[in-house]
Amino acid sequence: MAKVYYDQDATLEPLIGKTVAVLGYGSQGHAHALNLRDSGIRVIVGLPEGSKSKRKAIEDGFAVFQPARAVQEADIIMFLTPDTVQPQIYKESVEPYLDSSKSLAFAHGFNIHFRQIVPPKDVDVFMVAPKGPGHLVRWMYEEGKGVPALVAVHQDASGFCKDKALAYAKAIGATRAGVIETTFKEETETDLFGEQTVLCGGVTALIKAGFETLIEAGYQPEVAYFECLHELKLIVDLIYQYGIAGMRYSISDTAKYGDVTRGERIYQLVKPLMKEVLEEIQKGEFAKEWILENQAGRPVFNALLEKDRKHAIEEVGEKLREMMPWITSKELK
């Protein structure tokens, strides 16, 4: 069984009196910066000139510097820009100013694991990877709760790297929910696998396939939307709170029978595909493809996103969500 760390297992002490430079102020960046500050840690934000999120960081009361300047001022440098730009930021704005008094931190292991960033041996390198979207990392913290996270140490130059990682995890609220120690390899491969096959790719594929099947068979789009998208959250909420068995307690026997018999057929079809996707990740094929796609200016990525943006489910969804304003009461800034 994995060792799980909670609030009482971690102390903020390694971060007291230190400065954390948060590079990037997007989904994770704003959440980490605000949570760290609310936990009493000194935070500065690093963003390039002309950054769109600079105004938001300033409005939130942070001192914002060019990344290179933020790195020079900081003891701990947390990379919270998109993974794809981190190697360039590292080369230009971090590496020249690194010394053994500074630590590098990541929220995802991609660039270290796939060796897009290779730090000098005398700096501490750790990861605190929340297992949830950045906005939830902030909202949960504000409610006195937390999003679970993984911590990992890639290089322990100081002998105290794990304590720093746990302190950071505590300061963003993760130890309230539970923090598991892992490796950069395990976090990177499982995170990519999860988002590709279950959380993002898998779920959106199921939703779209279900919605399309119903409308192609002549059913009303509104009915298909409620059935295949809206109700998904209600079912997932039950699974989240009570487990799969708990969810099944709440649904009808007819639904349960369909679930275990028809669900089994979907399962048989999907599991070999999931294995295939995992192998692509483990062999570095996905990473290579994604790095090349970025170098080419993201043609496939942009085209596929645009295709889905125009999907009929978005049009009907927008109208139906307008009638349920409580659903989107919080703005995704």
Ligand X SMILES: CC(=O)[C@](C)(O)C(=O)O
Q: According to the binding rule CB under 6 A, does residue 305 interact with ligand X?
A: no
Q: According to the binding rule CB under 6 A, does residue 187 interact with ligand X?
A: no
CA angle 183, 188, 193 (to 5 degrees): 130
Q: Which residues bind Mg ion (CB under 5 A)?
A: 191, 195
- The helix-helix angle for 184-193 and 253-282 (nearest 10°) equals 130
Within residues 106-135, the interface with ligand X by CB under 6 A covers 131-133
Residue 28: name its binding partner from ligand NDP, Mg ion, ligand X, none (Cβ under 5 to 8 Å by kind): ligand NDP
* Tokens standing for residue 277: 């996707």
Q: According to the binding rule CB under 6 A, does residue 167 interact with ligand NDP?
A: no
Choice from 52, 121, 309, 330 touching ligand NDP (CB under 6 A): 52
Q: According to the binding rule CB under 6 A, does residue 25 interact with ligand NDP?
A: yes
DSSP E strand boundaries for the chain: 4-5, 19-23, 42-46, 64-65, 76-79, 103-106, 124-130, 149-155, 179-182
Q: What are phi and psi of 159, to 5 degrees?
A: 90, -5
191 is in an annotated binding site: yes
Q: How far is the CB of 109 from ligand NDP (least distance, A)?
A: 9
> Dmax over Cα atoms in the chain, in whole Å?
65
53 is in an annotated binding site: yes
- The helix-helix angle for 253-282 and 285-295 (nearest 10°) equals 70
Q: According to the binding rule CB under 6 A, does residue 301 interact with ligand X?
A: no
Residue written as token pair 């794990």: 162
Choice from 36, 125, 191, 313 touching ligand X (CB under 6 A): 191
103 is in an annotated binding site: no
Choice from 18, 48, 60, 298 touching ligand NDP (CB under 6 A): 48
Q: According to the binding rule CB under 6 A, does residue 63 interact with ligand X?
A: no
39 is in an annotated binding site: no
The number of angstroms, rounded, from the C-alpha of 297 to the middle of its chain's C-alpha atoms is: 23
User: Which of 36, 91, 93 lies closest to 70, judged by CA?
Assistant: 93
* Tokens standing for residue 245: 């068995």
Active-site residue identified among 30, 32, 108, 113? 108
Q: How far is the CB of 66 from ligand NDP (least distance, A)?
A: 9
134 is in an annotated binding site: yes
Long-range interactions of 190-196: CB distance < 8 A, separation 24+: 191/108, 191/109, 191/129, 192/110, 192/281, 192/286, 193/274, 193/277, 193/278, 193/281, 196/277, 196/281, 196/286
Residue 182: name its binding partner from ligand X, ligand NDP, Mg ion, none (Cβ under 5 to 8 Å by kind): none
**Cα separation of 286 and 292, whole Å?**
10
Catalytic residue status for 108: yes
* Interacting residues toward ligand X by CB under 6 A: 131-133, 191, 195, 199-200
Active-site positions read: 108
Annotation: binding site for Mg(2+): 191, 195, 227, 231
* Interacting residues toward ligand NDP by CB under 6 A: 23-29, 47-48, 51-53, 67, 80-83, 85, 89, 107-108, 129-130, 133-134
Annotation: binding site for NADP(+): 25-28, 51, 53, 134
